Structure 1
Amino acid sequence: MREPLLIANRGEIAVRVARTARALGLRTVAVFTDVDAGAVHVDACDVAVRISSYLEVDELLRAAAVSGAQAVHPGYGFLSENAGFAKAVVDAGLTWVGPPPAAIELMGDKGRAKDAAAQAGVPVVPAGDDGGYPVVVKAVAGGGGKGMRVVRSADELQAATEAAQREARAAFGDDRVIVERWVERPRHIEVQVLADQHGRVVHLGERECSLQRRHQKVVEEAPSPVVDADLRARMGEAAVALAAACGYEGAGTVEFIATADASEFFFLEMNTRLQVEHPVTELVHGVDLVELQLRVAAGEPLPESLSGDAPSGWAVETRLYAEDPANGFLPAAGTVRRWRVPEGVRVDAGVAEGVEVGTSYDPLLAKVIAHGPDRPTALRRLDRALAELEVLGVATNASFTRELLAREDVRAGQQDTGLLERVLEETDFAAPEDLLPAAALAAAGTATPEGPWRRVFDDGEARVADGVVRVGERSWRGDVRVLDDGHVRVELDGVARRYAVEVSDDAVWIARDGHHLEARTRRADRSGAGGVQGSLEAPMPGTVLLVKVANGDEVQEGDVLLVLESMKMELSITAPHAGTVEGLALSEGDRVTHRQPLVAVTA
């Protein structure tokens, strides 16, 4: 295997690739942008080279040249499925750890990939050109739910197409989209394939990836609860046939959508790279997919023993995102004040204590993966791990994931790609009522201001006096004991619980059982537009992507005023009622903080 290996990516996948490379004795090279100078993946490699963007081919090739790198692993996302990048790497005389550029180009074009699948005998989804709805607009070069919008009526089509194109251009540098019929309540099942340079193609079984939000996978498992040995063989045969037909090499994933009982399945797309959810396959088949990628790239044949026919046990993975369910799952940002991972599970992370989580990149912080002899055991172990995981300083989706995994339909394996969105309508995301009084009591025992302490996302306020903590009309008799391991034990009306807590001069972060709360002594800055009654605040930190109005404009209820972008997600700020725009002092490209006043609309 040629070395050093340049890892053209960031975050947890760069750390994960570096880990296997190190185990194989290979030297590694990281790349980083200005905002990633202190990122974990930088220290995970032997050498790191500063670049301007993870999407600039010339910058990545320059990094390879100055570091002496002889091979390039693209990870996933960014340029991992960019045929031009792969070709540029090969033309530079470097080893590309991935499939041939021609295979990437073919499978990366959703239309051509669909034709190739049909020619290989794989059932495909009907096109969305017959005027019927719903349809899905999705990026030709897309993946991971980026550049994808479901459209349920003709009047939504143009706006959805434009949004999908913007998102695809930002994520992949390619704004082409296609339209297909949207299959209601499908399962998302994918098959892992591997091919070497000697013509051998195998599959390593399937993964169930139906639990998704905004077309982004949240929980994945292997095997699928509805796939038996016969269906596994048929899906695997279809995936292998497609990979062979396109001259594939390395690791790839053929994605299918299936009916509820998986009696029928249709080709969705092929991802010509490592998948985020690859660890569940590794755990049930006892392999290291990154190692296999590297060995295939070096010309080695796949092991004769490699087979996906009989998975061992069950593995379930959840993605830990920097987002707050209590704030509409909008992206969260901040400094990681505490990061402690549980034992007994695998955690692939791209963060550590002291790392700044910004809004420039994807909100994925880590993946937590549990393995067990059967599905119930794996689910219990994952739930326990999420309860014990300690993340302070940045809100995450850990508590929501625990609620999701506890649902009877999920426990029974009765899931589809729309289940999670339906769950949102019936779930209360408010933090447990003990968190704010516990935070106030924990802070009261330090040298911090006395408060009152206010929740960041609303006006909840806690005051402590003479051993009593009050929040609104509710009060508790409280006591707090500081433990020697960075925790506190807070007793509220005779019920004592253990909390992880971090306190600064004007803020306190507290967590238990996956729940997280941030409280501060001061309200958000009320300058600028905040001085106008009825001003609209930023629901998330981010960047102003579009400004659609100017001061003095007359707008109607629902009109788009601004579009914010954070962690590759767009959010429109709309007029709450008809009126006149006032207090707008923002331009495209400006950065905004959470709850920063943006603009006012006076009736």
Structure 2
Amino acid sequence: MFDTVLVANRGEIAVRVIRTLRRLGVRSVAVFSDADADARHVVEADTAVRLGPAPAADSYLSADRLLAAARRSGAQAVHPGYGFLAENAAFARACADAGLVFIGPPADAIELMGDKIRAKETVAAHRVPIVPGSSGSGLTDDQLIAAARQIGTPVLLKPSAGGGGKGMRLVRDEALLAEEIAAARREARGSFGDDTLLVERWIDRPRHIEIQVLADAHGHVIHLGERECSLQRRHQKVVEEAPSVLLDEATRAAMGEAAVQAARSCGYVGAGTVEFIVPGADPGAYCFMEMNTRLQVEHPVTELVTGLDLVEWQLRVACGEELSFGQADVTLTGHAVEARVCAEDPARGFLPSGGTVLALREPQGDGVRTDSGLSQGTEVGSLYDPMLSKVVAYGPDRPTALRRLRAALADTVILGVATNTGFLRALLAHPDVVSGALDTGLVERDVESLTAGGVPEEVYVAAALLRQAALAPAGADGGWVDPFSVPSGWRMGGEPAWTTHPVRVAGLDPVVLAVRGDQVRVGDGPPVRARLAAADADGGRVVVHVDGVTHVFHRAGEWLGRDARTWQVLDHDPVEAALLGAAGGGGTGALTAPMPGTVTVVKVAAGDEVTAGQSLLVVEAMKMEHVITAPHDGTVTTIDVRPGSTVAMDQVLAVVTPLAAPTEEES
């Protein structure tokens, strides 16, 4: 086994790899950019090396800086994690040239499977079924359009390089092909440095099922069963589970053998994943989509049902060990489900969010595992991937695993950063998810119902009370505060006491708000978890957490929120709570940045006349593009940004003045 391994990644995956290294007694080396100097993976590693400035191109994507860090730290091997350079053949070769072991497949296998066009041709030659689509590499826009017309819409545009759904476009209208090809090329070029595209037939209501493979350098290749990855949004996986409820033993064995043949076709060594698209009505008609030549985000569900540590076996195979077990020794026991917790706001169309993690509680315990790169004080920005952590639940059967995961997500507190935990809980309770009737379009079809839901009354009450406390905090005069005199429920030992706060709501009978620790109960209602993240010095901003969802409040009158309530706290002045609404302040027609990011495209100039819904700008954040459109017919009177501009959330980008209404005479 290696003495020292450098982990060429960040966040939760770096923490995950470091955990196995520590268990095996291997010294771990973390790397970090200036943005991650105090990150959790840096703290948990045995040593850490600075790479450079915050932009990934100057740090995590710099092969030269990573190799220099490996030399400085005395590392013998490099674990690339996933993302960044994990599937970069040039980096794998550079490691070998530097005398380092790349803990992954051979560079030739990465190169071959990283080109989706060549990959399909290669596996097809080994009798692995593939999805019908275009053939040949380097197709022009006109050739892609011709291929799409020959296949017939709907079609899927896919970058030949990379993965993770980046640059993928589903096109149902032939007239939009040229526009969607341009957008797909732009995103592929930005994400992978390669804008080569292919086009494939779209299968309606498909299921996305992948097979985990493991191969050593001695010719042994086995599979570790499948993972169901059909719950997706914008081609990005949201929830994954193992095993799939769709497959019977015969289909599982056939798909597993197809995955093994795909791995053999490229001389694969290490842990990898072969992805298939499967018609829900005919599981036997599965087709190869692509192979991911790295560890997957969702690998924990396979670990839980097989009892294997995939990172450990990556290390052992990289050291030259043979697999100590064969296909007949692999058994799948129980069921595991994983949910990806991301810095995004479902209430605002899943726009990326950011901020400081002011309070953190991550679930653990019986049947629950959390892989996370977070710690209190972590700054979540727009430079890197939005995934913050993964919450995984295991049980003897699928209903138990789903129930445990929903409870674990409700117990997940990441205050200060909007996350998708509430959406994930709603998704896991969806009738089709509970029954196992999944497909890749389920989330998009029902996204409105999955993100709907009112704000509980106790959230408004808590926000009002917390703002009241901020207006007159205990000890504000600088004097000492006796903790026994503060009605906080604090005590020296045992359970905190419930403290009560009588609250009068205009037009309603008085109610009693009871608080104990992080639990809130209104009247005789059931207790729910609620946490204060922060309140401005003047009480103008409060963040409350309830059941996995964070709600941000501002003072009514200072922010045009989507909802506002006024509360009367007994013996105190009235206080207001206004729930933060959709972005768009700054005056009529002002277009604001929906999230912190970078402007990549500006399609208009001051003085241009535009129509409602017309695309004006593109803002990119966390590897995702977001189109800013005209709110109405009008004239662009102000444009304050250009391509490359870095913008903050709610920053005014442009102003579109509506066209003057016609006079009565003109009408």
Same fold per superposition (TM over 0.5): yes
1:217 pairs with 2:237: yes
Provide the C-alpha distance between the structure 2 equivalents of 1:134 and 1:3, rounded to a whole number of angstroms. Answer: 52
1:159 matched residue in structure 2: 179
1:101 matched residue in structure 2: 107
**138-147 or 165-174: bigger deviation:** 165-174
User: What secondary structure sits across from 2:83 in the alignment?
Assistant: coil
Provide the C-alpha distance between the structure 1 equivalents of 2:168 and 2:279, rounded to a whole number of angstroms. Answer: 21
2:38 matched residue in structure 1: 38
Match of 1:523 among 553, 559, 565: 559
2:61 matched residue in structure 1: 55
Residues 28-72 of structure 1: per-residue CA shift (max 9 Å, x gap)? 111212222222211121222222232222222222222222211
Paired residue type of 1:318: A
Per the alignment, do residues 466 and 537 of structure 1 end up closer, same or farther by CA in structure 2, a change over 3 Å counting?
farther
Match of 1:477 among 510, 525, 528: 510
Residues 2-45 of structure 1: per-residue CA shift (max 9 Å, x gap)? 33211111111111011101111111111212222222211121
Contact 1:12 1:366 in 2 (8 A): yes
Residues 141-160 of structure 1: per-residue CA shift (max 9 Å, x gap)? 22111121111122222222
Task: Tell me the CA shift for residue 556 of structure 1.
Answer: 2.5
Residues 569-591 of structure 1: per-residue CA shift (max 9 Å, x gap)? 11111112222112322233333
1:468 pairs with 2:504: yes
Match of 2:411 among 388, 392, 396: 388
Contact 2:151 2:201 in 1 (8 A): no
**205-214 or 534-543: bigger deviation:** 534-543
Contact 2:359 2:414 in 1 (8 A): yes
1:201 matched residue in structure 2: 221
Provide the C-alpha distance between the structure 1 equivalents of 2:395 and 2:451, rounded to a whole number of angstroms. Answer: 30
Provide the C-alpha distance between the structure 1 equivalents of 2:262 and 2:151, rounded to a whole number of angstroms. Answer: 30
Match of 2:276 among 242, 256, 269: 256
**498-507 or 219-228: bigger deviation:** 498-507
Residues 439-458 of structure 1: per-residue CA shift (max 9 Å, x gap)? 323314523379xxxxxxxx
1:281 pairs with 2:302: yes
Aligned length: 581
1:455 matched residue in structure 2: none
Task: Tell me the CA shift for residue 488 of structure 1.
Answer: 4.7
Match of 2:618 among 559, 563, 567: 563
1:429 matched residue in structure 2: 452
Residues 317-336 of structure 1: per-residue CA shift (max 9 Å, x gap)? 11111111111111111111
Contact 1:191 1:253 in 2 (8 A): yes
Unaligned residue ranges in structure 2 (runs of 5+): 52-57, 135-146, 474-500, 561-579, 660-667
Per the alignment, do residues 498 and 29 of structure 1 end up closer, same or farther by CA in structure 2, a change over 3 Å counting?
closer
User: What secondary structure sits across from 2:18 in the alignment?
Assistant: helix
Contact 2:166 2:188 in 1 (8 A): yes
**319-328 or 587-596: bigger deviation:** 587-596
1:266 pairs with 2:287: yes
Contact 1:218 1:318 in 2 (8 A): yes
2:189 matched residue in structure 1: 169
Contact 1:477 1:492 in 2 (8 A): no
Paired residue type of 1:503: A
RMSD of aligned alpha carbons: 2.2
Match of 1:491 among 522, 534, 548: 522
2:389 matched residue in structure 1: 366
For 1:322-471, what aligned pairs fall within 5 Å after superposition?
A: 322-344=343-365, 345-434=368-457, 436-448=459-471, 467-469=503-505
For 1:68-147, what aligned pairs fall within 5 Å after superposition?
A: 68-128=74-134, 129=147, 130-147=150-167
**546-555 or 270-279: bigger deviation:** 546-555
1:508 pairs with 2:542: yes
Provide the C-alpha distance between the structure 2 equivalents of 1:442 and 1:476, rounded to a whole number of angstroms. Answer: 17
Task: Tell me the CA shift for residue 411 of structure 1.
Answer: 1.0
Paired residue type of 1:17: V
Residues 251-305 of structure 1: per-residue CA shift (max 9 Å, x gap)? 0000001111413100010000001000000000000000000000000111125
Question: What TM-score results when the alignment is normalised by the length of structure 1?
Answer: 0.92
Per the alignment, do residues 71 and 467 of structure 1 end up closer, same or farther by CA in structure 2, a change over 3 Å counting?
same
Report which of the two structures shows the higher radius of gyration computed on alpha carbons: 2
Per the alignment, do residues 477 and 545 of structure 1 end up closer, same or farther by CA in structure 2, a change over 3 Å counting?
farther
**509-518 or 43-52: bigger deviation:** 43-52
Provide the C-alpha distance between the structure 2 equivalents of 1:189 and 1:494, rounded to a whole number of angstroms. Answer: 43
Contact 1:442 1:488 in 2 (8 A): no
Paired residue type of 2:593: A
User: What secondary structure sits across from 1:402 in the alignment?
Assistant: helix
Contact 1:478 1:493 in 2 (8 A): no
1:296 pairs with 2:322: no
Task: Tell me the CA shift for residue 435 of structure 1.
Answer: 5.2
User: What secondary structure sits across from 2:224 in the alignment?
Assistant: strand
The percent identity for this pair of structures is: 56
Task: Tell me the CA shift for residue 230 of structure 1.
Answer: 1.0
Per the alignment, do residues 382 and 105 of structure 1 end up closer, same or farther by CA in structure 2, a change over 3 Å counting?
same
Paired residue type of 1:26: V
Task: Tell me the CA shift for residue 493 of structure 1.
Answer: 8.2
Provide the C-alpha distance between the structure 2 equivalents of 1:449 and 1:595, rounded to a whole number of angstroms. Answer: 30
Provide the C-alpha distance between the structure 1 equivalents of 2:246 and 2:419, rounded to a whole number of angstroms. Answer: 30
Contact 1:438 1:490 in 2 (8 A): no
Residues 412-449 of structure 1: per-residue CA shift (max 9 Å, x gap)? 11100111111114445244232541332331452337
Question: What TM-score results when the alignment is normalised by the length of structure 2?
Answer: 0.83
**370-379 or 559-568: bigger deviation:** 559-568
Provide the C-alpha distance between the structure 2 equivalents of 1:585 and 1:151, rounded to a whole number of angstroms. Answer: 32
User: What secondary structure sits across from 1:467 in the alignment?
Assistant: strand
2:256 matched residue in structure 1: 236
Match of 2:603 among 544, 548, 566: 548
Per the alignment, do residues 477 and 322 of structure 1 end up closer, same or farther by CA in structure 2, a change over 3 Å counting?
farther
Per the alignment, do residues 306 and 151 of structure 1 end up closer, same or farther by CA in structure 2, a change over 3 Å counting?
same
2:647 matched residue in structure 1: 592
Contact 1:435 1:510 in 2 (8 A): no
Contact 1:206 1:223 in 2 (8 A): yes
Per the alignment, do residues 253 and 308 of structure 1 end up closer, same or farther by CA in structure 2, a change over 3 Å counting?
farther
User: What secondary structure sits across from 1:6 in the alignment?
Assistant: strand
Per the alignment, do residues 497 and 313 of structure 1 end up closer, same or farther by CA in structure 2, a change over 3 Å counting?
closer
Per the alignment, do residues 467 and 425 of structure 1 end up closer, same or farther by CA in structure 2, a change over 3 Å counting?
closer
1:2 pairs with 2:2: yes
Task: Tell me the CA shift for residue 494 of structure 1.
Answer: 6.2
Contact 1:441 1:478 in 2 (8 A): no
1:457 matched residue in structure 2: none
Provide the C-alpha distance between the structure 2 equivalents of 1:466 and 1:379, rounded to a whole number of angstroms. Answer: 38
Paired residue type of 1:501: L
Provide the C-alpha distance between the structure 1 equivalents of 2:528 and 2:612, rounded to a whole number of angstroms. Answer: 46
Residues 512-547 of structure 1: per-residue CA shift (max 9 Å, x gap)? 21222011235399xxx9655321222222222222
Contact 2:601 2:619 in 1 (8 A): yes
